[in-house]
Amino acid sequence: MRTRPVVNINEDLIFERSAPGKVAYSLPPLDVPDTDPKSVLTEALLRDEIQDFPEVSEFDVVRHFTRLSTWNHHIDIGMYPLGSCTMKYNPKLNEEVWRLAGISNCHPLQDPSLAQGNIQIQYELQQLLKEITGMAAVCLQPAAGAHGELTGILMVHAYHDAKNQKRKFVLIPDSAHGTNPASAAIAGYQVKSIPSNSDGRIDFERFKDTVNDAVACLMLTNPNTLGIFERRIREIADILHEKDALLYMDGANFNALMGYTRPGEMGVDVMHLNLHKTFSTPHGGGGPGAGPVAVSSRLEPFLPLPLAAKTADGTYYYDFQRPKSIGRVRAFMGNYGMHVRALCYILSCGSSGLKEISETAVLNANYIRHRLQGLLDLPYSEASLHEVVFSDKLQIKKGVKTFDIAKRLMDFGFHPPTIYFPLIVPGAIMIEPTESEGLQELDAFVDAMKAIVKEAEENPEILARAPHKTKLRRLDETRAARQPILRWRRKANKDRPPG
Ligand SMILES: *Cc1c(COP(=O)(O)O)cnc(C)c1O
């Protein structure tokens, strides 16, 4: 069985590599006149407090950062089965394409006539996301899923404002991601929570009884955070539309549906996509994210501006002529580099590839479900899509909690799954292997889980103190949150000024 490497090093030696005279670069001799910075920069731009830079060689720098990268788990060293967060492979091809000089060096204020290809990239991505979701229009600006939610809810607000309607409530199932109620509240709504039924789906009757003309919209995650498909979705949309309320779909779990069904055909009015989940752009330390919003024709006029657009003669431009727009939600055009990577991903997969992604994501989650069933408690028996939610109900009898299982997984070289979410499952363990993992890796994960379940039976103390092999052991999470130490500081040294 695999275990993670143990790195024992003297931290002072690792961090303190500086010595006078070491340099990490070599430049050709200056062939222009030397200038004093004070003659070109204003006083305000000159910062005296920045001094005492480390003096290190290039090798020192490379080793330092490479070593740091091995102290943390990341998708490029092992499986990262973080349910709902979809940590999949970030294809290196996407990185190659983004690094093309004409793409990565283009200034956001470049004149559109000199950036036609760059605008085309965003235009094509908008078009493809429209096609994939079946929605009427797409805006790429939001910088994350939660930002997409806020953008969507602000559009719902603008929609009712334009009709002079005052709406007070946003309905959200109790299984939803915490960002849903947060986004609704920031947009000025009161949240009404709708309970889930014993299947793990929204309680349809309760929903139906709660809809009235004070409701702005329902925010529904589909498949929901239990990995279960929300049925009667067309009926749900019709009930809302009858009261001129709208249907928001949280599309963070879209890798379960892509290529099989389209939210536009379910009656969805607005959804966000997480390019950093479904469409393979890096996240979890590798970000930034991108959370495009897709809307039905009802909300199209309210989309943020500008949108990437194309004239009849094929010229690309940014369209600012959108009088009903809610305005900008992000500087320039959002996290452009992520748009490039997502377009690259979609084009390299093609439509059959996108469908295969959903298929494999669902297959992989069901493989894990099948192999761990019986060892871990499965609170909902409904069919799983791309993720499966277990609980610690069987292990808690021995005093072993979800938290301990998650920590112990790190000793086996795996990132822990999402834990204690969704909130409706006590001690939830939410596993999403994604489509990127092969059979060997899935089996290794199952073996690790089996070994941990056995330890929970026979030797629970091992779990109570896990992890044992990571650089840092079990942290005092409260202290880490209250008194975070976010950077290394050199120990006081009388020979040096404090840095
Ligand atoms: C990840 C996620 C979000 C929020 O997306 P961010 O990009 O992290 O802001 C919202 N809803 C669900 C279901 C998610 O999984």
Query: pLDDT tens digits for 269-283?
Result: 999 999 999 999 998
Number of domains in the chain: 1
Cα distance between residue 198 and residue 182, in whole Å:
26
- Which pLDDT does position 71 carry in this prediction? 85
Specify if 431 maps to a domain.
no
Q: Calculate how far, in angstroms, residue 484's C-alpha sits from the geometric centre of ligand 1.
A: 24
Of 85, 86, 177, the one to substitute when testing ligand 1's pocket (max ligand atoms within 8 A of C-beta) is 177
Mean pLDDT in residue range 468-485? 89
Contact of 232 with 222, CB cutoff 8 Å: no
Does the pLDDT of residue 485 top 90, yes or no?
no
- Burial of 374: CB neighbours in 10 Å, binned 0-12, 13-18, 19+: exposed
Q: Calculate how far, in angstroms, residue 321's C-alpha sits from the geometric centre of ligand 1.
A: 31
Give per-residue pLDDT as tens, 253-262: 999 999 999 9
Specify if 229 maps to a domain.
yes
Give per-residue pLDDT as tens, 81-125: 999 999 999 999 999 999 999 999 999 999 999 999 999 999 999
Does the pLDDT of residue 8 top 70, yes or no?
no
Q: Calculate how far, in angstroms, residue 85's C-alpha sits from the geometric centre of ligand 1.
A: 7
Q: Which domain holds residue 125?
A: 93-348
Of 461, 457, 401, the closest CA to residue 426 belongs to 401
The 3-state DSSP class for residue 325 equals: coil
Of 91, 116, 86, the closest CA to residue 347 belongs to 91
Q: Calculate how far, in angstroms, residue 290's C-alpha sits from the geometric centre of ligand 1.
A: 11
Q: Measuring from atom 7 of ligand 1, which residue has the nearest CA?
A: 145
Of 294, 427, 298, 339, the closest CA to residue 118 belongs to 339
Tokens 């979890």, located at residue: 284
Sorted by sequence, the CB contacts under 8 Å of residue 126 that are 6+ apart come out as: 137, 138, 139, 140, 292, 307, 308
Give per-residue pLDDT as tens, 130-156: 999 999 999 999 999 999 999 999 999
Give per-residue pLDDT as tens, 193-221: 999 999 999 999 999 999 999 999 999 99
Specify if 303 maps to a domain.
yes
Specify if 369 maps to a domain.
no
- Which pLDDT does position 97 carry in this prediction? 97
Does the pLDDT of residue 496 top 70, yes or no?
no
For ligand 1, residues with CB inside 6 Å are 84-85, 144-146, 177, 179, 221, 225, 250, 252-253, 274, 289, 291
Does the pLDDT of residue 348 top 60, yes or no?
yes
The residue that leads in pLDDT, 491 or 118, is: 118
Q: Calculate how far, in angstroms, residue 151's C-alpha sits from the geometric centre of ligand 1.
A: 14
The 3-state DSSP class for residue 8 equals: coil
- Which pLDDT does position 9 carry in this prediction? 57
Contact of 121 with 292, CB cutoff 8 Å: no
Residue 498's pLDDT band, with cuts at 50, 70 and 90, is very low
- Which pLDDT does position 7 carry in this prediction? 52
Cα distance between residue 302 and residue 154, in whole Å:
9
Residue 276 CA, closest ligand 1 atom number: 7
Mean pLDDT of the chain: 93
Tokens 């495009």, located at residue: 292
- Which pLDDT does position 492 carry in this prediction? 60
Specify if 231 maps to a domain.
yes
Specify if 404 maps to a domain.
no
Specify if 78 maps to a domain.
no
Q: Measuring from atom 2 of ligand 1, which residue has the nearest CA?
A: 252
Residue 402's pLDDT band, with cuts at 50, 70 and 90, is very high
Q: Measuring from atom 1 of ligand 1, which residue has the nearest CA?
A: 85
Q: Calculate how far, in angstroms, residue 121's C-alpha sits from the geometric centre of ligand 1.
A: 25
Mean pLDDT in residue range 64-91? 91
Specify if 414 maps to a domain.
no
The CATH number for 173's domain is 3.40.640.10
- Which pLDDT does position 285 carry in this prediction? 67
Does the pLDDT of residue 477 top 90, yes or no?
no
- Here the tokens at position 332 are 């320039």
Q: Calculate how far, in angstroms, residue 274's C-alpha sits from the geometric centre of ligand 1.
A: 7
Q: Which of 21-25, 99-103, 106-110, 403-407 has the lowest mean pLDDT?
A: 21-25
Give per-residue pLDDT as tens, 367-401: 999 999 999 999 999 999 999 999 999 999 999 99
- Here the tokens at position 159 are 């929609």
Tell whether pTM > 0.85.
yes
Residue 148 CA, closest ligand 1 atom number: 9
Mean pLDDT in residue range 488-499? 57
The residue that leads in pLDDT, 143 or 475, is: 143
Q: Measuring from atom 8 of ligand 1, which residue has the nearest CA?
A: 145
- Here the tokens at position 444 are 């290794």
Q: Calculate how far, in angstroms, residue 148's C-alpha sits from the geometric centre of ligand 1.
A: 9
Q: Measuring from atom 15 of ligand 1, which residue has the nearest CA?
A: 84
Of 450, 414, 455, 496, the closest CA to residue 77 belongs to 414
